Amino acid sequence: MIRQRLSSSIKFQLIYQDETKFGSAVTGQCDTTIRRYCASITAHRNRYGLANVVAHARELLASTMVPGGLADLYQRPNILLEDWLYPDPKAVKPVALELERNIGETIVIQKLSPNLLSELALYLGEWQEGSNAPTTTIARELWNALDDYGALVEVNELSVKPQLGHATFVGHSSLRLSDGNFSILFDPFLLPKSEVYPPNYQPLSLEEMGQPDAVFITHSHPDHFDLGTLLRVIASTPIFVPEVKRESVLAIDMALRLRQLGFENIHTLRWFDETRIGGMRVIALPFYGEQPTVAQALHPEIRNEGNTYLIEYCDRRVALTADSGSDCLGDVKKLAAVALERYGSLDTLFGGYRGFGLYPIQYLFSSVARYLPFVPENSWQVRQKMMCDADDLIDVAEIWNAKQIVPYSDGGAPWYWQRGLGPCLDGSQAHIMAVDPTPEHVCQVGTVRSGTRKDGAIASPVSICLLRPGDALAFAQEDKRRQEEGSRLAVSVAEREQGGLVFAQEDTQVIQNQSWPYSIPRLPQVCNDSD
């Protein structure tokens, strides 16, 4: 019989039925509710523009605090309703599987019975690796449906496999770490290969990377916790998620949602918990930032729960800080100081650099409209920068005594920016790069950290390694571990074929698996004189 596997040109998406009163974070209906209550603000924007909305934020938001508006979410001033804060998780149920080929091109929505849903991960994980048609009726019906819609292809060996190295940047916040024997995937968010992308530049697939020995998730936002990707992972694979004691409008109970689909090996990690995958030590660290405000917030006990991670392997120490920033509980810069004292210096920091500074009324037009009710009235016109920008990221690296930075967690390829994740790097939207900067911007900021008129610009002592999705870092076989904690290795500079600088440590090789087909506009350098 011909063995078949899941096609890498198909993306899966779970469809949920949401019967909660105000909407759940699982479905995003909570954001729809906020936008409905604030329809008058949207109309104002359409007429006068966003700048006018921000300028008149206080009176516009005050006008929605009426019955039929945002007031419906409050028990009394500054106290939100329990039904809004904690949507009933039992009222949000998976009911169907959506198949997507290219972005926006839905092939079919396949309804799934409760019995099949409870074993969905078991079947799809097995089929990802290759299988004959199942014999049980319930599984055979799904197999036949997938086959009819082109979601199954014949198993064959890949003609060319990418060199994955010790740290492979899959794209956005997805990262694969390997010590040569074991591999770990962080925030896997794999998108379909497609003819709409250059043939020599395509998303990495799980078939190319191989099944991981474990998966770790930073937080429950859909570009980090993607069930459609996780359904391709073998159901018995250990999956580690942040602890969420009670599902809220700001944090999905990831362990619950995984178990609903038949995943068998789910673990929750609290801050400073640690585990080992083979010879790889993984430590869960606090996740600060990407909350409704950077300071005072209503109901501070309700958070976008998350972890950042520190990994020790191959005589290296690597950290992933995802969308970190600052909030009322702490900030990632202080975390860096604590981690330096407790665990030691970093070799490589993978960190976000977007900044994402918004006035609260702008949440209404973003993917986190649900944040708006948590903002106190006295902060309605106070800009909230919930993530690190380029300077903050370099600060974190310097505090952590890191050798190098890899900017990540902001798209990086067309299969991300077409979904609104990160800047367009093909030059088509150069005018918005100041709002959503390119990874090259981190390189530029790193070269002008200080300076004087007399001495010129002074760069950060931390080197910056620019990776494209699909690129990897390969560590030297004989590592020269720093003999003094504060020492720095020399920096080598390599030019890419078509633009973009790579600054790599001399004991680390950058593997470019695919030919980067885009030309990146250069950002102007700015020098702030201190004299």
Query: Is residue 355 pLDDT above 70, yes or no?
Result: yes
At residue 309, the pLDDT reads 98
Partners of 330 in the β-ladder: 327
Residue identified by tokens 């921000």 is: 54
- Please provide the DSSP assignment of 114-167 as one string: HHHHTTHHHHHHHHHH-BPPP-SHHHHHHHHHHHHTT-EEE----SS-----SE
**CB-based contacts of 506: which residues, under 8 Å, 6+ apart?**
489, 490, 491, 492
Question: Please, what's the largest Cα pairwise distance for the chain?
Answer: 78
Rounded CA-CA distance 463/394 in Å is 10
Question: Do residues 212 and 176 make contact, with C-beta atoms less than 8 angstroms apart?
Answer: yes
Rounded CA-CA distance 468/466 in Å is 7
At residue 504, the pLDDT reads 55
At residue 522, the pLDDT reads 45
HSE of 207, CA atoms in CB hemisphere, 13 A? 23
At residue 514, the pLDDT reads 85
CATH number of the domain at 167-353+388-511, please? 3.60.15.10
At residue 431, the pLDDT reads 55
Query: Is residue 531 pLDDT above 50, yes or no?
Result: no
Query: Is residue 5 pLDDT above 50, yes or no?
Result: yes
DSSP assignment letter at 478: S
Q: How confident is the model at residue 108 (pLDDT cuts 50, 70, 90)?
A: confident
Q: How far from 454 is each of 334, 458, 460, 525, CA to CA, in Å?
A: 33, 11, 18, 18
Structure tokens that stand for 121 in this block: 């991960």
Rounded CA-CA distance 287/324 in Å is 6
Q: How confident is the model at residue 102 (pLDDT cuts 50, 70, 90)?
A: confident
Work out the average pLDDT over 415-423.
93
Lowest mean pLDDT segment, chosen from 207-221, 252-266, 503-517: 503-517
Rounded CA-CA distance 466/471 in Å is 9
Partners of 80 in the β-ladder: 74
Q: Where are the domains of the chain?
A: 4-18+89-154, 167-353+388-511
**CB-based contacts of 417: which residues, under 8 Å, 6+ apart?**
411, 423, 424, 425
At residue 490, the pLDDT reads 28
Among 329, 348, 434, 325, residue whose Cα is nearest residue 397: 348
At residue 427, the pLDDT reads 76
At residue 505, the pLDDT reads 63
Query: Is residue 499 pLDDT above 80, yes or no?
Result: no
Work out the average pLDDT over 421-449.
84
Query: Is residue 388 pLDDT above 80, yes or no?
Result: yes
Query: Is residue 106 pLDDT above 90, yes or no?
Result: no
Partners of 269 in the β-ladder: 242
Determine which helix (DSSP H) or strand (DSSP E) holds 239, and give its type and residue range: strand 239-242
Residues in the chain: 531
Query: Is residue 529 pLDDT above 60, yes or no?
Result: no
How many other C-beta atoms can be found within 10 angstroms of the C-beta atom of residue 18? 17
At residue 525, the pLDDT reads 35
At residue 439, the pLDDT reads 93
Rounded CA-CA distance 390/315 in Å is 28
Work out the average pLDDT over 52-81.
97
Q: Summarize pLDDT for 226-239 with one digit per residue, the tens.
A: 999 999 999 999 99
Q: Which residue has the higher pLDDT, 416 or 498?
A: 416
Lowest mean pLDDT segment, chosen from 16-25, 150-159, 409-418, 522-531: 522-531
Q: How confident is the model at residue 269 (pLDDT cuts 50, 70, 90)?
A: very high
Q: How confident is the model at residue 132 (pLDDT cuts 50, 70, 90)?
A: very high
